[in-house]
Amino acid sequence: MNRIHRIACAGFLISALFVLSACTGNGYGRSAIYSQLVEDEIRVVMPANAPSISQQFRVAGNRGGRGSPTSFHEGIDIIARVGTPVIAAAPGRVVDSFMEPMYGNRVVIDHGIDATGRRARTVYMHLDSRRVRSGTQVARGQEIGTMGRTGVLAAAISHLHFEVHRQRGSRGVAAQDPHLFWADGVGRVTCFDPQRAADDGTFRITYPVPCRDTAAR
Ligand SMILES: [Zn+2]
């Protein structure tokens, strides 16, 4: 990456808009920096074989966030080619599977209420194709669709916008930083491994895109 390219990419990051896949160098093992709008930044440990994260979770309001629409990003963006499988981050039941203009093809999975008594859902957006319908039970790691760039907000860049919604006390279900919920612990991005049981009764997620070695299986 040359200097001008770096500056151009930094411009994209600062403007907190859409980060082109070119800004991440190679497509695996990279995790974007957090925006300064995030108060409690999580140290992210990214496996070298995991498709890169191009944008982290952001919410406006903390640290006097400017509150413009672009200061919100209620999930993480994972970049890979159109058609890359998108897989369920945890077992559950599909509660929505539809297409709309802004986020394109969307799948929502409800993971029920875990041992702590809290409900969780995961949301997958900009899909090229949807492989599941509302009502379908899915296993962890099951293909639910393919990565794409559908919807105006995808800005024509192939990526998965992935959200985790979790019940917070009496305040209902709200988007939270997905890095809080990896099976290997906070910030420890966990590739899906079919050989390994990730369920311990509490809500835990694995990466919603296959890591390189499992994709080759
Ligand atoms: Zn996004």
- For residue 215 the two structure tokens come to 């994709």
Name the pLDDT band for 197 (thresholds 50, 70, 90).
Answer: confident
Name the band, by pLDDT with cuts 50, 70 and 90, for residue 58.
Answer: confident
Q: Taking the model in full, what pTM does it have? A: 0.82
Would you say 126 and 161 are in contact if contact means Cβ atoms under 8 Å apart? yes
Structural domains of the chain ordered from first start:
26-217 (2.70.70.10)
Q: Measured in angstroms, how far is the CA atom of residue 100 from the centroid of ligand 1?
A: 15
**Could you tell me the distance, in angstroms and rounded to a whole number, from the CA of residue 55 to the centre of ligand 1?**
7
Instruction: Tell me, in angstroms, the distance from the centre of ligand 1 to residue 75's CA.
Output: 6
Position 91 confidence tier, pLDDT thresholds 50, 70, 90? very high
